Structure formats: structure tokens, C-alpha cells
Structure 1
Amino acid sequence: MSRQIHVGNVPVGGGAPVTIQSMTNTRTDDVAATVEQILRLEAAGCEIIRCAVPDLAAAKAVGAIRERIHIPLVVDIHFDYKLALEAAAAGADAVRINPGNIGGEDRVKAVAAACRARNIPIRIGVNGGSLEKELLAKYGGPTPEALVESAFGHIRLLNRYDFDDICVSLKTSSVPNTIAAYRQMAAQSDYPLHVGLTEAGTPRMGVLKSAVGIGGLLALGIGDTIRVSLSADPVEEVYAARDILKVVGLRREGAELVSCPTCGRTKIDLIGLAEEVEERLKTVDKPITVAVMGCVVNGPGEARSADVGIAGGDGEGLLFRRGEIVKKVPQSQLVDELFRLIDQI
């Protein structure tokens, strides 16, 4: 088990539930726009938010943003260590720095001192695209071994300055390399791990890559907090992260849909029914499993583990509960009858 740190009032690691993170894409110095986006992310289920701090105006905005949101705020710092000092003083809950571009040891020492004074953890954000040149030369590229060595080098540097309130991430855009790096890191240390892929892509491939990479690591017991990185509205990152946690079995929240892939026996618009049910389930908070099956012959049996479900026939279908048939209804009424049954649970 990893050790535990606290990002604001949120525990990370040490057996705490895996938390969901995202990152704003507004200008951080636009306080109103940034707060509005964070509040939307909170409503979607985001539990830790990160903001880019590229300049002094952004650093100075941290305090005003923090006062108007309800989840911890992590500042993302590149190149200029003074921005980390400013943001920490303004009220940031954690600082993310990249060991490949923060600068010399004196700068790291200053950031460590500022964070230690305020009990602010530091995430060492190792990224395949900005590794130290000597490591790239040593390993011939951003290999898993290079990522891990970079992380440990920066851990030692922070430890030298009496700082050990650390979380680590080792991100690349390659699923195999990312998985390998996190597995090596987890085998060699107990620091909590922020898990994700960088530049994962647009929602279709980005969610797929993240589900394989993040989900695979979580299934191995590796990972304490996650971010799904997408070229999309950050709210989509949160929805994807919630789905990954549910599929991996780490959360039981809201409704889960199971549906069959259809076959030659299917005589109803199963795809349309499944999509309609999925959309309406977004407002259902009950931790239930709902099945949409295409065949009345074996649908209820195959979906016996579902709490409720429907199985289609020819212009009509069956409504069932835990594998037991409740009644037969016309196809046009199937979905409405299903949700009436859900309301009774």
C-alpha cells in the first residue's frame, strides 16, 4: 500500500478511495471563467482540479479562484519556479512541477521550502516529452526506465531539502510504456501515484487508451488518483474517469448499463433502445445494473445478474427483474415501463 498525502482536505494514497482529477483549459487569470468551469467539473464529479500557471497574473489569481470553489486546487508550474512560490503563497493546495524544466537545485530548494512551510504536497510530474537530456541520451528515448530514474532523481533532490510530501506521475502517450513505468515505480517505492496518459487524444481514442492504460494499472492495484487527458471539454474527462473506476470495480455509483451486441435473432431496434436507456440513466443515482437484451428467448437468463432489464421480441418485449419475468409490453412502452420499475427499486 502507498503512503498517504493530503491535497487540501482530500486524502491520496494509503488506502483512500481513488480520486478523480481534471485540468482547466481557461486562462487562469480569467477568474470568472475558470471558476465557472471548475464548478461544472465539481458537478460532474471532479475531486481535485489543476490549473496552469504560465505567468504572474495566473499565479496571483489562484487565491481568488480557491475562495470560490469547493475542491483542492493544484497549480501546474513549468520553467519559472517563482510562479510556484507565488501560487503557494496565494493558497494553492498542491504544486506540480516537472523535473526536466524547473531549473537548478537552488530553485527546487526554494519550492520545497515554500511548500514545506505551508504543508503543501508536491507532485513530481515526469513526462516523456520533457525528460532530462542526459536520461534521453542514456536510454535512447523516453523509456519506462528513463521515466522512473527521472522520478527517483527528483525525489532524492527534494529529500535533500527535507521534503517528502510527494506524489509521482510518469506519463507518456504510449500505453505500454506508461504501464511499464508505473509498474516499475510501484515495485520500488510507496509514494502515491497519480496515474494517467499524456496527450491521449480526442474522446474516442483518448478514452480507449485511458481505459486500457489507467484501468489496467488500477486492476493491478496501482494508482491513487487519476486524470483522463482528452482533447475535449474537461467535463468529458471526469465522466470517463468515473466510468473507468466503475468498470474496474473501484466505485459503485449511479446506474450501469449492460446490453447485448445484437444478432440475427434480434427483431427490434436494440441499438436505439440501448442508446435511449443509456441517456435516461444519466439522471439515475441508484447503484443498479440495467440490462437491455435483444432476444426474449435467453435475454432474461443472460442478464440474470442485472437488477432490472428489458428483452426485445417482435414488436414487443419482456420486462424482467433479477432474471424473473415481470410482464410483456409493447415495444413502444418498453423504456417507459423499465423506468417505472427502476423508480420502484
Structure 2
Amino acid sequence: MYTRNETKIINIGGVQIGGGNPIAIQSMTNTKTHDVEATVNQILTLEEAGCEINPGNIGNSERVQKVVEKAKAYHIPIRIGVNSGSVEKVLLEQYGGVCAAAMVESAKKHIDLLEGMDFTDIVVSLKASTIPLAIEAYTLFAKKYAYPLHVGITEAGTLYRGTVKSSAGLGAILSRDIGDTIRVSLSDDPVQEIECARAVLQSLELRQFGVEIISCPTCGRTNVDLIGLAKQVEERTKHITKPLKIAVMGCAVNGPGEAKEADIGVAGGRGEGLIFKKGEIVRKVKENELLEVFMQELNQIL
């Protein structure tokens, strides 16, 4: 089994993937490409949101040789994209339908073609809209090839369901140490894809993008508007790039202890609350002053 540390290193416009490099985040523009201004503006918006790579397409096999020649000349890698919905008919007949083995065999045909042209700056994706199929395909490929993998659950759906489905699939694959670059595929603004991808990588502790907020789900002991407080803290801290763990807890009795790994936290009580750092209480304040005092203490850390 090839893991991320062992895959071939590929350079994409200055972004290196494979060989244990940080997992890169991709997306695609959804503008009409003839509208250059709109397309460029969306690319810049995606870049600002944290997108690092934007892939393109080759076309049919007759164009491959010309594409390879240009790719060699300009040191541009080629991504082989296998989709469960577009596996060649002959392979579907051979394997009795869509399966991981058929998808890997499809990728092999394209790899053999490129390698036959002495081209090995290759990235491969084996996307499926079914999570178990995607997991199996990526795992099977990683056992056979050391080419870096672009991981994604294709056509995941709308914002909420697509985020859940992508997170489940990406988490399962990445937790096997498989995958060098990812894309979340949502029927929504591509910027939402970047936000979800960053959250997935940070949740798995594969990348760090600034603040991580942990908050309790509330219970009968909660005597503060914890949901509202957590949302305000999230909004007030989303610009912070320093890696910090922030806790928003609903119980002043257990909160500081349960979230002692947090760099700073706030715990609500009855009419008052606590500010704590690394589990140690540093201030007790009135409930209506809780958010602002918390921000003051946070700014001291920053």
C-alpha cells in the first residue's frame, strides 16, 4: 500500500503534491469560459478563499500526444480522471458493471498511454458518487501505483447533504493515509467547497487553517444562550489565521475541565460566565459582558 509519504511528488504551478506534502485543495470555476472577466474574478475569489489548484481537461485520446508534448515543454502535470459514471463500456462488460477493479483498470489504460510517451507527471482521480465504491477504488489503486491521488466524492449534492457526504467519504479515504489533493463537489457556490475542504482537513489534523472552535451540544444544565454565543464567537474569530483552539461551553462547572486542551474558552453560567485558558479559570464576568471580555482576552493571546 502506497501512502502519502511514498507517492511521487508532482509540481502544479508551484504547489507540490505527493511525497507527504500538505494535502492541497482544489475546485473548479462554474462560469462560462468565454466570459473571461467573470471567470478570472471567480478564480481570484476561490484563491482568496484558499483554493490552490484548478484543473483542466485534455479531451479525446487523439489529442493526448499533442497535450503531452506541451505538458513536457512547460512542465505541466496531467490528471487522469476516472469517474464511476464514465467507465468504458468494454470494461463494464468485462467486470460485470461498475466496480473498483474496473475503475482502476480504466486508469491503468490511460497511465500506460502516458508512460508509453515517456510522461510520468501524472495525478489520478477515481471518483464515485457512492462512498463505499470510492473508498474501494482509491484503496485498490494505492496498492498498485505510487502516483499522487486527487480524492473526491463526485456529485455529492447540495450544500448541506453534499457537505455531509463529502466529509464522510473524504474522511474515510484520507484516514487511510491515501490522497494528496482533494475537492468537495457541491451544487453551490465553489467557495463553499473550499470552506468544507478546509474544515475536513483541519478536523483530521492534516492541515491547520487558523481557529478551531469546539463547543458543547448543550444540555439541561445550560443557562446561557450557548448556540447564539458559539455563532458569535465563530463569526468574530473567522479572520484569525493563528492556529488556536477555542472552546465555547455551556456549563461553568464542567466546561473548563472538559475543554482543558483549548487555548482559550468561555463557559456560561446563571447570569455570569467564566473565561479560561488551558483549563485554568482567569476571569469571572457578567453574562452580558461575556463575549466582549472573551474577545479582550483572546486579543491578548494574539
Shorter-chain TM range is over 0.9
Task: Show the counterpart of 1:225.
Answer: 181
Aligned position for 1:22: 27
Match of 1:274 in 2: 230
- 1:37 equivalent in alignment to 2:42: yes
Residue 195 of structure 1 corresponds to 151
> For 1:76, what is the secondary structure of its paired residue?
coil
- Which amino acid is 1:236 matched to? Q
Task: Determine the structure 2 residue equivalent to 1:158.
Answer: 114
Q: Distance in 1 between matches of 2:157 and 2:52?
A: 22
C-alpha displacement at 1:10, in angstroms?
A: 1.3
Q: Secondary structure at the match of 2:16?
A: strand
Q: Which residue of 2 aligns with 1:76?
A: 57
Provide the C-alpha distance between the structure 2 equivalents of 1:280 and 1:123, rounded to a whole number of angstroms.
39
Question: Gaps (5+ residues) in structure 1?
Answer: 50-73, 82-101
1:47 pairs with 27, 46, 52, which one? 52
SS in 2 for 1:194: strand
- Alpha-carbon shift at residue 217 of structure 1 (Å): 1.6
Q: Compute the RMSD of aligned alpha carbons.
A: 1.3
* Post-superposition offset of 1:34: 0.7
Could you say which structure has the greater relative contact order, defined with CA pairs below 8 angstroms and 6 or more residues apart?
2
The answer for the alignment partner of 1:121 in structure 2 is 77
For residues 138-196 of structure 1, what are the alpha-carbon distances to aligned partners after superposition, in whole Å with 9 as ceiling and x for unaligned? 22332111111111111011112222111000001111111111111111110010111
> How far is the alpha carbon of 1:118 from its aligned partner?
2.7
Q: Provide Cα deviations, 1:20-42, integer angstroms capped at 9, x if missing partner.
A: 11100001121110111111111
Other-structure match for 2:197: 241
SS at match of 1:48: coil
* Cross-structure match for 2:213: 257
Residue 206 of structure 1: how far off its partner (Å): 1.1
Distance 1:39 1:255 in 2: 23
Matched, 1:289 2:294: no
Tell me what 2:3 maps to: none
Which of 4, 10, 29 is matched with 1:5 structurally?
10
Q: What's the secondary structure of 1:3's corresponding residue?
A: coil
Q: 2:261 aligns with which of 305, 309, 324?
A: 305
Return the offset for 1:252. 2.0
Matched residue, 1:336: 292
Q: Shift of residue 232 of structure 1?
A: 0.8
Instruction: Specify the code of the residue in structure 2 equivalent to 1:315.
Output: G
User: How does the TM-score come out when normalised to structure 2?
Assistant: 0.94
Residue 33 of structure 1 aligns to which amino acid in structure 2?
Answer: A
Q: Work out the CA distance in 1 between the residues paired with 2:166 and 2:76.
A: 28
